[in-house]
Structure 1
Amino acid sequence: MGLLEQCEELFKTSNLYEVLGIKKEATEKEIRRSYYKVSLKVHPDRAPEDPQATEKFQVLGKLYAVLSDKEQRAVYDEQGLVDEECDILSQDRSWEDHWRLLFPKITKQDILDFEKKYKGSDEERTDLIQLYVQHQGNMDAITESALCCSQEDEPRLCSIIQAAIQSGEVEEFPAFTKEDAKKKKARRKRADKERQEAEEMQKEMGLGDEDDSLVMMLQQRQKAREQNYNSFLSDLEAKYSKKSEKSPKAKRGKKK
């Protein structure tokens, strides 16, 4: 069975871009990040309840190999075909090992270094403004999605958004400018509860200051926010991922 047929069977679409939830015009960075997020959801270690998890994970690896290779992607974009005999698909490869090369395990120090660099940066501001527009000023959704965001950061983030509104950069959404005080209070209570639960979980799991402890805590936090697609951990891992090795030259034009 060819790659496109496998995608149809496992993901209900033979369109490689639709499998990743992106547009055909997606950049290399967007493809990479979407691949990471989708593959993370079906990773055999994280989705043991899915009997097709391993097969889905392998198919996603092949899909990414095609779209990350310029020649293979050009063939697919122009003809809607995949060269099943090209080296990147025909060679015997461990897609789990390949995934780990692309997305190496991050450490506590990686997180701390990233947070120090990210907070107050132009990148943080750009991400925040995008979230403000995307969620139409809903601070619950914004704080859920923002990277490196804690309750202590909220006043700073609000001031950034307010400045953008005053300058005319973005429109004024009532959900932000007229947010009810009770809603703000409820958000603070949720944050305090999360912090307490995290501390209790850390004690129960016997976690100390070793490198993996913070990462594990963030993973546990993400399980409680499965609906939040732009999680801190997945975005951070994607940002820290290494560039993929250049794929061998592809052979053109063979139909699946």
Structure 2
Amino acid sequence: MGLLDRCQELFKTSNLYEVFGVAKEATAAEIRRSYYKVSLKVHPDRAPEDPLATEKFQVLGKLYAVLSDAEQRAVYDEQGVVDEESDMLSQDRCWEDYWRLLFPKITVQDILEFEGKYKGSDEERQDVIQLYTQHQGDMDAITASALCCSQEDEPRLCDIIRSAIKNGEVTSFPAFTQESERKKKARRKRANKERREAEEMQKEMGLDDQDDSLVMMLQQRQRSREQGFNSFLSDLEAKYSKKTGKSQKGQRGKK
């Protein structure tokens, strides 16, 4: 059975872009990010209840390999076919190793170092403005999606948004400019609840180390917000994992 036929059988579509939930015009970074999120859902270690998880995971790796290669993607876009004889789609390839090469595990130290560089940077500013536009000024959604964001960061994020509105960079959405005090208090209440739950869990599990505490806080934040793969760790791992694809491409080119 060909790759596209297997894709249809496993994911109910043979359209590679539909599998990853992106548009045909998606950038390489958007496809990479979507591949991470979709593949994480069927990762064999995280979806043991799915008997087809391993095969789905392998097929997703092949689909991403096609879309991440400029030549292969161009052929697929123009002709709707994939070159299954190419080295990148070799049956002997370990797709788990390929996935981990793209997305190395993020350590606590990585998080702390990234947070120190990210907060207050132009990159953070651009991300916040993008989230503001995407969610049309809804601060609940913005604070839930922003990287490295805690309740203490909200005033700073609001300042970024107000400045962008004043400069004419973004639209002035009523959801932001006219947000009620009741909604703000509800958001603070949720944040405080998350913090207390994380602290209680930390005590119950006897975690005294700062690194363990941070990990526990992030895990609790993910559960409380019920955002699954939009959690801080997922976003950070997908967006800032080490880029080692060049070596793979170089090896592929040596035929």
TM-score w.r.t. the length of structure 2 is 0.90
Conserved 8 A contact 2:106-2:241 = no
RMSD: 2.1
State the 1:100 CA deviation. 1.0
Return the offset for 1:188. Answer: 0.5
State the Cα distance separating 1:221 from its structure 2 match. Answer: 3.0
Which residue is 1:157 aligned to? 157
Matches within 5 A, 1:211-250: 214-215=214-215, 217-227=217-227, 229-243=229-243, 244=245, 245-246=248-249, 248-249=252-253
* Partner SS state of residue 144, structure 1: helix
Alpha carbons 2:143, 2:149 under 8 Å: kept: yes
Aligned to 1:187: 187
Aligned match of 2:62: 62
Does the aligned pair in 2 maintain the 1:106–1:215 contact within 8 Å?
no
Within 5 Å, which residues of 2 pair with 1:7-156? 7-156=7-156
C-alpha separation between the residues in 2 aligned to 1:133 and 1:212?
A: 35
Aligned to 1:254: none
Greater Cα offset, 142-151 or 78-87: 78-87
**Unmatched runs of 5 consecutive residues or more in structure 1:** 252-256
Q: Deviations over 1:197-234 (max 9, x none)?
A: 11122233343437566345424432443446532111
How many aligned positions are there? 251
Q: Which runs of 4+ in 1 moved over 4 A?
A: 210-213
Contact 1:72 1:250 in 2 (8 A): no
Using the aligned pairs only, state the percent identity: 81
SS in 2 for 1:248: helix
| TM-score, normalised by the number of residues in structure 1 | 0.90
Q: Unaligned 5+ residue runs, structure 2?
A: none
In the TM superposition, what is the alpha-carbon distance from 1:89 to its structure 2 partner?
A: 1.2
Distance 1:155 1:36, change over 3 A: same
CA contact (8 A) 2:62 2:89 kept: yes
Return the alpha-carbon distance in structure 2 between the equivalents of residues 52 and 149 of structure 1. 36
The C-alpha deviation readout for 1:164-198, integer Å capped at 9, x for no partner, is 11222111111111111111111101000001111
State the alpha-carbon separation in 1 of the partners of residues 254 and 28 from structure 2. 18
Which segment is superposed worse, 85-94 or 179-188?
Answer: 85-94
- Contact 1:107/1:212 (CA < 8 Å) preserved in 2? no
Q: CA separation in 2, counterparts of 1:216 and 1:97?
A: 27
**Larger RCO, structures 1/2 (Cα 8 Å, 6+ apart):** 1
Note the 1:172-211 alignment, pairs <5 A. Answer: 172-209=172-209
Deviations 1:110-147 (A, max 9, x none): 00110111111111111111111111111111100000
- Cα distance in 1 for residues equivalent to 2:254 and 2:80: 15
Q: Which amino acid aligns with 1:25?
A: E
Read off the aligned partner of 2:109 and give its amino acid letter. Answer: Q
| Distance in structure 1 (CA, Å) of the matches to 2:8 and 2:215 | 34
